[in-house]
Amino acid sequence: MRITQRVKKILDWYESDNPGTKGNLARILMEGKLGGSGKLLILPVDQGFEHGPARSFAANPPAYDPHYHFQLAIDAGLSAYATPLGMMEAGADTFAGAIPTILKMNSSNSLATTKDQAVTASVSDALRLGCSAIGFTIYPGSEYAFDQMEELRELAEEAKAAGLAVVCWSYPRGPELDKNAETAFDICAYAAHMACLMGAHIIKVKPPTAFLSLPAAKKVYEEQHIDGSTMAKRVEHIVQCCFAGRRLVVFSGGENATTDKLLDVIRGLRDGGASGSIIGRNTFQRPRAEALALLSTIIEIFQGKA
């Protein structure tokens, strides 16, 4: 596998990692149409756990089939495909080696009443299925955040020892955070930094709004004139909070959005220096041809062509 100078520079950021982990990071960074650029576009399909099958797949019935998502990610030229254990097992042999995969290790569900996630897979599962990385969600602000962080620490230690990379979904939630706070500028930056401190190689957060939530943080943001006036400026700050850009940070696509609105967000991510995006429902809930066209345009935006 040829590795570009840009990817070699990124690998140098991860000073403690073994050749196996760096090799798997390189595989993700060199895959697909963005391969070698330092940018990532990942398909995550864990929404069946989070929202239920009909809410996730009824809008595009072929998406009930696990093979559909593997093929969509491959045909679109994406960097990696992330999904929980059962869906990964359902296509692992057919698509072995066709695209880097990320095994989502924990999940919640919409029937639960707590802001927690259950660990639903193991590092040995990830190795058995040929994955390049594990994925794990933490909810900063939740009553269960410390337990989740301890679970992540243990799984990350095991994964890194086995040569796997670690992807952390860091989503602020909890009794002190309302919907505005969950995507607030200061809270998203805080959540991204926590994921870096936990040792994640790739951090996933939501695109931040201009809202400032924590009074103590708001004071600092205003005194230090931290610019949150545009998506690009907010993303630039979150990248700064990820060890001054020494960690890969990608942003979710969020709930269903119009194509124009989604592409405006993607341009803001690009202009702010994001490492890329990780988009699920906004792609696989569309008809296949429409999803492929959308993903192609997103790739062109990160390439600076659109």
Other Cβ atoms closer than 10 A to 91: 21
H helices of the chain, where? 5-12, 19-30, 47-51, 53-57, 66-76, 85-89, 123-128, 145-161, 179-182, 185-197, 215-223, 231-241, 259-271, 281-284, 288-302
Select which of 104, 160, 204, 206 is catalytic.
204
CA distances from 227 to 7, 162, 188, 221 (A): 29, 41, 14, 8
Hey, which residues does 208 pair with through a beta bridge?
none
Q: How far apart are CA 103 and CA 82, in angstroms?
A: 6
Other Cβ atoms closer than 10 A to 10: 22
Which of helix, strand or coil describes residue 299? helix
Q: How far apart are CA 9 and CA 120, in angstroms?
A: 34
Residue 39 is among the residues annotated as catalytic for this protein: no
Concatenated DSSP letters of 125-157: HHHHTT-SEEEEEE-TTSTTHHHHHHHHHHHHH
Catalogue the active-site residues.
Answer: 204
